[in-house]
Every structure is written in C-alpha cells, then in structure tokens.
Amino acid sequence: MLEKAFMRPQTSIQLFTIKDALESDLGGALAKVAARGFSAVEAYDFVLRVEQIAKALAAENLAAPSGHAFLASKSFVNPDGSGTSVSVPMPEEVFAAAEVLGMSLVIDPYTEPGRWGSLAQIAETADLLNAAAQLGATRGIRVGYHNHAHELEVTYGGRTGLEVFTDFLEEDVVLEVDLYWVTRAGVDPVALLQRLGNRVVAVHAKDGTLDADSIRRYPPTDQVPAGRGAVKIAEAISAAPALELAVVEFDHFAGDVFDAIEQSRLFLEREGA
C-alpha cells in the first residue's frame, strides 16, 4: 500500500520571541537567529521599518515567508487582548511592505476577545479578512489568521469559534494555528487540526507546562522549548496535511531565549517537522 507523501514544513521563528534583542540590535539579533540554525523568520511590526528589516535579513541570508500584521483591526490590540487607540497601517501599506520582504503570507495575529461573542461579529471579522485577501492577491500574497485562546473558548453548536470562523472565510484565507493557545483553551490540537484540514498552512510550535500558577496573567511564564511541555506538537504537525510552516515562538522565556529557540528547532527537526 502506498502511503501519502508527507511534505516537511519549513521551520521558522516568530521574531516577537526575541523582541527585546531586536529593539536593541536588529542586525545582531538576526545574526544570532541564523547562528542557531534558522533560515526563515516570521516578522512582526514590519511596515514602518521595512527597509531596515530587509537589509538585516539579507545580511544573514534569512527569508521571511510570513509575517504578522493587523488586517481586521483599525487599532493596535495588545497581546493580552486589550484594545488601544493606536492606529495600525492600512492593508495596502501592509502588503506593499510584505512584498518588499518577499512574503507570501500575511497573518492577522489576533482580534479582541469581545469580537467573538456572536456569529454576526465572527462573520464581520471574516469579511474583513476576505477583503484583505482580495487585495493581497494582487501582489501574490495570501492572508491568514492566528489564534489565541479566546477563539477556542467560545462555542456555537458544539464547534469552537475558530471552526465557525472558517465557515465565513473564502477558501484562499488560511489559518496559522497556535498549538499552545489551543491547548490552553482545553481543546485537543490534534483533533482540531484534523477537522480544519487543508485550511491550516502554519502552526506556532509553542510548548508549555500549563502550570496553573504560571498562566494566570499575560505573558504566561510556563513556556518551555518545544517537546518539553504538555502540548502535543509533533502529533499535531502530523495531523495537518497542508502544513507549510512550523514556527517557533515564545511569548515569554525566563532563560536564554536563543538557547530555547535552538532547542525547539532541533526538536522539530528530530520529529520530522
């Protein structure tokens, strides 16, 4: 019997992981990323400093196949889900900058939890991403959405909000599933990825112990290198038939973050990701 060929996803790193190092020395931080064995990164907050980032990436021979930018929100949303009045670049600006960096995928990082309280709100967010996808397509760039926990914590008819969300998305809008946040929401990431199927083209291969005392506030302090926590990363990756990117990320890490990202990369490579 012939088995279905498994296409190994590219390993990348979400640069938010090393945000402090990037702010103090962009070139030096990216040099450390390359030295730890990465050839690809996932950029964030790239629009207003695109030329600087492009130059630094080129110096280290790093690609940026994907990046995070708000597409369905008019103002910045804090990582803890709280809103602000700080405006964000318009989608046209986002895609122009993404094209400079050679991105083929721009991912909305999250929306406010309050926007998942009804089907109408979910549909409205999907419509905004569908419109952004049409715009991105003119430059050959796809649009995706990345989840936190709140999209999984709400349910409609026994389905998570994230799954219902896909009902309103056009077929060309994809998902980047954060395996840590899925697990934090009490959802089995393996079963979820099986249900979502080809919609998932990227994952955040993020791990954590899920210790109750460590996850009470943002950022959580339970996160550990991939393979050392409670998140079923390897199994989830195997359950995603259309996976292109396995992205290492930490929201917070108390130790040497560059050691941690390398350990995560090595785990993904050992597991065939």
Nearest one of 50, 47, 102 to 70, comparing CA atoms: 47
Average pLDDT over residues 129-150: 99
pLDDT band at 6 (very low <50, low <70, confident <90, very high): low
pLDDT band at 226 (very low <50, low <70, confident <90, very high): very high
Checking if the pLDDT of 117 tops 80, the result is yes
Checking if the pLDDT of 121 tops 80, the result is yes
Instruction: Give me the pLDDT at residue 135, please.
Output: 99
**Among residues of the chain, what percentage have pLDDT more than 90?**
95
Checking if the pLDDT of 2 tops 70, the result is no
Average pLDDT over residues 40-49: 98
Instruction: Give me the pLDDT at residue 76, please.
Output: 94
Nearest one of 94, 111, 112 to 103, comparing CA atoms: 94
Average pLDDT in the chain: 96
CA distance 222 to 132: 35
Average pLDDT over residues 101-123: 98
pLDDT in tens, 140-182: 999 999 999 999 999 999 999 999 999 999 999 999 999 999 9
Instruction: Give me the pLDDT at residue 141, please.
Output: 99
Instruction: Give me the pLDDT at residue 243, please.
Output: 98
Q: pTM for this one?
A: 0.96
Lowest mean pLDDT among 37-41, 42-46, 78-82: 78-82
Nearest one of 196, 248, 254 to 227, comparing CA atoms: 248
Instruction: Give me the pLDDT at residue 7, please.
Output: 74
- Of residues 1 and 101, the one with the higher pLDDT is 101
Domains and CATH numbers, the chain: 10-270 (3.20.20.150)
